[in-house]
Amino acid sequence: MSEQQDETWAKRAEHWRQAAPKGASNHDAPNQILIKYADIGEGKKCLDLASGAGEPAISIALAVGEAGSVVATDASAEMLEGARERAANMGIKNISFENTVMEDLPFEDNTFDAVTCRFGLMHASDPLTGLKEANRVLKSGGKAAFMVHGPADKNNQWTSMHKCVQSFLEVDDQARFHKHYRFSADGELIAMLQEAGFTNVLDELTVTTITQEIGKIFWEANLMRSLGSRVEGLDEAKMSALNEAIAESLAPFKKNGAYELLSSNRMAYGTV
């Protein structure tokens, strides 16, 4: 990872820590999907890439029990600090931490039963090398599962928020947009997993409808976590104008007295 990228995540880490739960995941449904597709259960030795503030590593530690283990890894020591705090709060003993990029993992070949990564692959500077590394450290028959965002038009909240922040700050932030939705297209992640040496590769696009209350700034935690470093300098009046702009941009999704928003993830998984 370049110094500039690392600094970005270091700067964003405080927003992530503030938005993260103190203990168990409050966004566990995607973690359980990763756990299922990576075939994680009691006693498994697991590696989680780009764990950030502990997702899905904390859920994996709970799923594998005392006989199993998980190594939570991330390129940013500051992001990983949030995961350490949560594990300590919960008294979890079967988790360890490693500050490393996924492109150069400090583990022997054939070490793990499963590798997971939630919303991390698109941020890697060289995702293919990251996938090859995952393949290398997995035991024969081991499983890997990667979750990325689905298409922009099926993720109304983030897409609307991002557009509003761009026009509000009068900046061109398309590079960030494309990174967020990298791998959202059909077939792209599958092809890369195959190129990295995985077999039995499949993927699945999930689209969920989320109902949110009108009049509530329900996007705040997500905005600060995701785009906090862009908007944290805004004064109260500007922040309130930005929130109004976001509310307005979500107006087309009002239905039956609430917002009905789409949220979409793509899961790709394979075997060594």
Ligand X SMILES: C[S@@+](CC[C@H](N)C(=O)[O-])C[C@H]1O[C@@H](n2cnc3c(N)ncnc32)[C@H](O)[C@@H]1O
Query: Which is it for the CA torsion 9, 37, 47, 17, positive or negative?
Result: positive
CB atoms within 10 A of CB 199: 10
- Nearest distance in Å: CB 138, ligand X: 17
- Is 1 a binding residue for ligand X by CB under 6 A? The answer is yes
- Is 50 a binding residue for ligand X by CB under 6 A? The answer is yes
CA distances from 97 to 54, 79, 87 (A): 10, 11, 10
Contact pick of 36, 41, 119, 128 for ligand X (by CB under 6 A): 119
Q: Which residue is nearest to ligand X (CB)?
A: 52
Beta bridge partners of 259: 212, 254
- Is 158 a binding residue for ligand X by CB under 6 A? The answer is no
Q: Which stretch binds ligand X (CB under 6 A): 71-79, 84-92, 135-143, 196-204?
A: 71-79
- Is 193 a binding residue for ligand X by CB under 6 A? The answer is no
What residues have CB less than 8 Å from 74, skipping those under 6 apart? 50, 51, 52, 80, 83, 99, 100, 120
CB atoms within 10 A of CB 33: 19
Q: Select 189 or 247, whichever has its Cβ closest to ligand X.
A: 189
Pull the structure tokens for residue 131.
């996938």
- Nearest distance in Å: CB 49, ligand X: 6
The answer to whether the CB of 68 falls within 8 A of the CB of 44 is yes
Strand pairing of 258-271 and 254-255? antiparallel
Q: Which stretch binds ligand X (CB under 6 A): 58-66, 86-94, 115-123, 243-251?
A: 115-123
Contact pick of 40, 70, 75, 114 for ligand X (by CB under 6 A): 75
- Is 19 a binding residue for ligand X by CB under 6 A? The answer is no
- Nearest distance in Å: CB 229, ligand X: 13
- Is 103 a binding residue for ligand X by CB under 6 A? The answer is yes
- Is 95 a binding residue for ligand X by CB under 6 A? The answer is no
Contact pick of 34, 35, 64, 79 for ligand X (by CB under 6 A): 79
Cis peptide leading into 127, omega within 30 of 0?
Answer: no
Q: How many Å apart are CA 190 and CA 233, to the nearest integer? A: 40
- Is 135 a binding residue for ligand X by CB under 6 A? The answer is no
- Is 118 a binding residue for ligand X by CB under 6 A? The answer is yes
Query: Which is it for the CA torsion 25, 27, 29, 34, positive or negative?
Result: negative
Q: Select 121 or 272, whichever has its Cβ closest to ligand X.
A: 121
Q: Select 9 or 259, whichever has its Cβ closest to ligand X.
A: 9
- Nearest distance in Å: CB 255, ligand X: 28
CB atoms within 10 A of CB 48: 31
Q: Which residue ranges make up the site for ligand X (CB under 6 A)?
A: 1, 9, 49-52, 55, 74-76, 79, 101-103, 118-120, 123-125
